[in-house]
Amino acid sequence: MCSRRESCCGYMTVEASFIVPWVVFIIVWIIYLGYFEYDRCLLFQDNYMLASQAGSIIKTKEDRSEWLNSHLRGQYGNKYMGTGNVDASGEITGSQIRVRSSLTVRHPLAYHAGMIPSSNWHVSDEVHVDYYSFTKRIRLFRSAGRVLDGGS
């Protein structure tokens, strides 16, 4: 029974029973989307690290190709959430190294929730890195400076 002061007993409980599950669902959904974003950032980081290492460590083009293809599996590993493996490829053209990769994130909520699309999430990335021999560039600029100054 409600007192005269409280004319609406129980409304707070009813409202909380509708609002609290939605708040919890939204918080869990934001955390879940964070895993997807984590996979995207990690994929870009691994692509860039692989391409930059191939450009800076190895000296000849043939060795770069061989090194790049042999290290594709090892770079990605098993650190991605919700996915089995990463499909990756690398190629070297001229002074540019390209690393392409893609992965599919399987989410278990696709079947159970109607607002999530039924297909899996696909993440793909491509990184282009130009590699230079900085020692050769410095020597080139020094010799060009000497020629412009009138020296030999």
The answer to whether the Cα torsion of 16, 22, 25, 27 is positive or negative is negative
Residue among 82, 129, 127 at smallest CA distance from 103: 82
The pair phi, psi for residue 59, each rounded to 5°, is: -90, -40
Ordered by start, the domain boundaries in the chain are 11-148
pTM score > 0.85 for this model?
no
> What pLDDT does residue 4 have?
55
Distance (Å, rounded) from C-alpha 50 to C-alpha 68? 7
Give me the pLDDT at residue 3, please. 56
pLDDT mean values, one per 10 residues, the chain (152 residues): 58 83 91 85 88 73 74 79 79 82 74 58 84 74 84 61
d(CA 88, CA 51): 12
Determine the pLDDT at residue 61.
63
For residue 24, what pLDDT is reported?
Answer: 93
